[in-house]
Amino acid sequence: MTDSKGQLKMLVLSLTGRCNFACKYCYAQNHPQEMMSLDTALRAVDLAAAGGAPFVLQFSGGEPLLAFGLLQEIACYVRRRKIPAMMQVQTNASLLNRERACSLRRARVGVGISLDGWPEINDRLRRFPDGRGTSRRIGRGAAYLAAEGIAAGVTCVVTAENVRRLAGVVEMAYYLGNVRRIGFDLLRGQGRGRKLTPPSAEAVAAGLLDALQTAERLSRYTGRSMLISQLERVEKLARGRIGEGFGHCHAMNGEAAYVDALGRIYPCSSLVGEEDFRLGDVRKGIDQTRQEAAAESIRKSMAFCWECPDFTLCGGGCFTRWYGSGCGGKAYEAECALKKACILWYRRHKTIPQISRL
């Protein structure tokens, strides 16, 4: 079981492994397809809440809105028990309607949307099982959120197919109107992602620079700023607003729990099914010995990051992205390129735009 030393800062609940999309790169393809039971979900929430400290509670999947009733029950439990959880959902947005958007607003659940660019790019990567594109449904879902006054974030998975068109993600975010933050998530070498070619470091650097320049230009034209998550992290590290060195990796610090639909606990969603990284289950709790062993394994694997001259403004790479890339005892070059591009931009501009209100 955990004690105060193992206080969780991040709890991710995979409400179901099922999804109504069939994205080309889906890393969660082999996750359990069952629907999480309410008992499993509440046990997990109680486990994270036991220490009394605030934590992030993210609803994930698969597509979590396939289990919208369960999400509502968990949110009600959190509010009724006054549990200090900041709730979020990462969704493909296709199952949103006015009623569900209103429910998310009332429950104070933050919303992140997955989107990979303009329709001609997005629809190559993010498709329905029958091959149809998903952009129209994603846009409709974003519109329901906007109608309820909900500002959303966008996560873009960067692959070899869209890396040179990342500016389109920024343009789409401005087009939707209620997006205030964009995060670029490099292709993971798990699930279907194993079959795709990862983007090159050079292409990532060029694509991100184009995206940053586009965000800057559109900010001037519209008077609305767009926050780029990776750039925000550089700024926070530079100003000492977050801890030094891998402060972002709750898995490395023994502060994260990803619970699959069957109640099994792992330090990260990309490690589901990896028995060496299984931490326990919601009935017995987290085995602290296994948690510490997993954290130590992650720390040792990423030791090369400490030797990098950009480490203080980078904060370290992502273990699970490195783990799936097969690059051995060196860094995942595409991720380094992504972060170094943000560091270079920050050093040149020394400013991060603030989020404007919806």
Residue 313 phi/psi, 5-degree rounding, is: -105, 0
Query: What's the Cα-to-Cα distance from 89 to each of 56, 108, 175, 272, 300, rounded to whole Å?
Result: 11, 11, 22, 19, 31
Please count the CA atoms within 13 angstroms of the CA of 205 that sit on its side-chain side.
12
Residue type, 179: V
What is the token pair recorded at 201? 């470091």
What is the token pair recorded at 197? 């070619």
Given this model, what pLDDT does residue 111 score? 98
Measured torsion, CA atoms of residues 236, 242, 246, 252, in degrees rounded to the nearest 10: -140
Cis before residue 139, ω within 30 degrees of 0?
no
Mean pLDDT of successive 10-residue stretches along the chain, which has 358 residues: 64 96 87 94 97 95 96 98 98 98 97 97 96 97 97 96 96 96 90 86 97 96 94 90 71 89 93 91 95 90 91 89 79 92 91 45
Burial code (b: 16+ CB inside 10 Å, e: under 16) for 268-278 equals bbbbbeeeebb
Task: Give bridge partners of residue 14 from the DSSP assignment.
Answer: 60
Q: Return the CATH architecture of domain 7-349.
A: Alpha-Beta Barrel (3.20)
* Annotated domain spans of the chain: 7-349
Given this model, what pLDDT does residue 309 score? 93
Q: If you write DSSP's letter for every residue of 326-340 in order, what string do you get?
A: T-TTS--HHHHHHHH
